[in-house]
Amino acid sequence: MVVRFDYHGQVPGARERAAEHCRRVSDALQARYADLAARGLLYVLQVVRDCNADAPIEVLACSVNADAKAGGTDENLPG
Protein backbone atom coordinates (compact mmCIF):
# COMPACT_ATOMS: atom_id res chain seq x y z
CA MET A 1 0.00 0.00 0.00
CA VAL A 2 1.10 3.53 -0.63
CA VAL A 3 0.37 6.07 2.08
CA ARG A 4 0.79 9.54 0.60
CA PHE A 5 0.09 12.95 2.06
CA ASP A 6 0.52 16.21 0.17
CA TYR A 7 1.36 19.43 1.97
CA HIS A 8 1.80 23.11 1.19
CA GLY A 9 5.50 23.87 1.55
CA GLN A 10 4.98 27.54 2.34
CA VAL A 11 3.04 26.65 5.51
CA PRO A 12 5.36 26.29 8.52
CA GLY A 13 5.36 22.75 9.92
CA ALA A 14 3.22 21.34 7.10
CA ARG A 15 5.81 18.78 6.00
CA GLU A 16 6.27 17.49 9.55
CA ARG A 17 2.49 17.15 10.00
CA ALA A 18 2.20 15.27 6.70
CA ALA A 19 5.02 12.94 7.75
CA GLU A 20 3.30 12.31 11.09
CA HIS A 21 0.02 11.53 9.28
CA CYS A 22 1.92 8.98 7.17
CA ARG A 23 3.37 7.33 10.26
CA ARG A 24 0.00 7.19 12.01
CA VAL A 25 -1.80 5.68 9.02
CA SER A 26 1.02 3.20 8.41
CA ASP A 27 1.01 2.15 12.06
CA ALA A 28 -2.78 1.72 11.93
CA LEU A 29 -2.53 -0.43 8.79
CA GLN A 30 0.19 -2.58 10.34
CA ALA A 31 -1.89 -3.02 13.51
CA ARG A 32 -5.14 -3.74 11.68
CA TYR A 33 -3.54 -6.25 9.32
CA ALA A 34 -0.88 -7.59 11.69
CA ASP A 35 -1.37 -11.18 10.50
CA LEU A 36 -0.72 -10.22 6.88
CA ALA A 37 2.28 -8.10 7.85
CA ALA A 38 3.74 -10.92 9.94
CA ARG A 39 3.43 -13.30 6.98
CA GLY A 40 5.11 -10.84 4.62
CA LEU A 41 1.93 -10.06 2.70
CA LEU A 42 1.55 -6.37 3.61
CA TYR A 43 4.01 -3.71 2.59
CA VAL A 44 3.64 0.01 3.17
CA LEU A 45 5.41 2.83 1.34
CA GLN A 46 5.16 6.21 3.07
CA VAL A 47 5.57 9.32 0.91
CA VAL A 48 4.92 13.05 1.15
CA ARG A 49 4.90 15.73 -1.52
CA ASP A 50 5.00 19.50 -1.53
CA CYS A 51 2.05 20.26 -3.80
CA ASN A 52 3.30 23.82 -4.39
CA ALA A 53 6.72 22.80 -5.66
CA ASP A 54 7.66 21.13 -8.91
CA ALA A 55 9.39 18.29 -7.11
CA PRO A 56 8.98 14.52 -6.93
CA ILE A 57 7.53 12.71 -3.94
CA GLU A 58 9.75 12.21 -0.92
CA VAL A 59 9.95 8.63 0.35
CA LEU A 60 9.85 8.57 4.14
CA ALA A 61 9.80 4.83 4.82
CA CYS A 62 9.16 1.52 3.13
CA SER A 63 8.47 -1.83 4.73
CA VAL A 64 9.67 -3.79 1.69
CA ASN A 65 12.71 -5.92 2.41
CA ALA A 66 14.54 -7.36 -0.60
CA ASP A 67 15.13 -10.59 1.35
CA ALA A 68 11.48 -11.01 2.39
CA LYS A 69 9.43 -13.75 0.80
CA ALA A 70 5.68 -13.59 0.36
CA GLY A 71 4.06 -15.87 2.91
CA GLY A 72 6.75 -15.32 5.52
CA THR A 73 9.24 -18.17 5.89
CA ASP A 74 10.20 -20.98 3.52
CA GLU A 75 8.29 -23.44 5.70
CA ASN A 76 5.05 -21.89 4.41
CA LEU A 77 5.93 -22.78 0.84
CA PRO A 78 4.65 -26.01 -0.71
CA GLY A 79 7.06 -28.82 -1.43
Q: Please write the tens of the pLDDT for every residue from 26-52.
A: 999 999 999 998 998 999 999 999 998
Among 60, 55, 58, 50, which Cα is nearest to 9's?
50
Q: How far apart are alpha carbons 58 and 20 in whole angstroms?
A: 14
User: Can you list the domains of the chain with their CATH numbers?
Assistant: 2-76 (3.30.1330.140)
pLDDT at 56 over 80: yes
CB 3 within 8 A of CB 44: yes
pLDDT at 54 over 80: yes
Q: What is the pLDDT of residue 76?
A: 45
Q: What is the pLDDT of residue 65?
A: 65
Look at the pTM and tell me if it is higher than 0.95: no
CB 8 within 8 A of CB 14: yes
Q: How far apart are alpha carbons 79 and 55 in whole angstroms?
A: 48
Mean pLDDT taken over the chain: 85
Bridge-partner residues for 61, per DSSP? 46
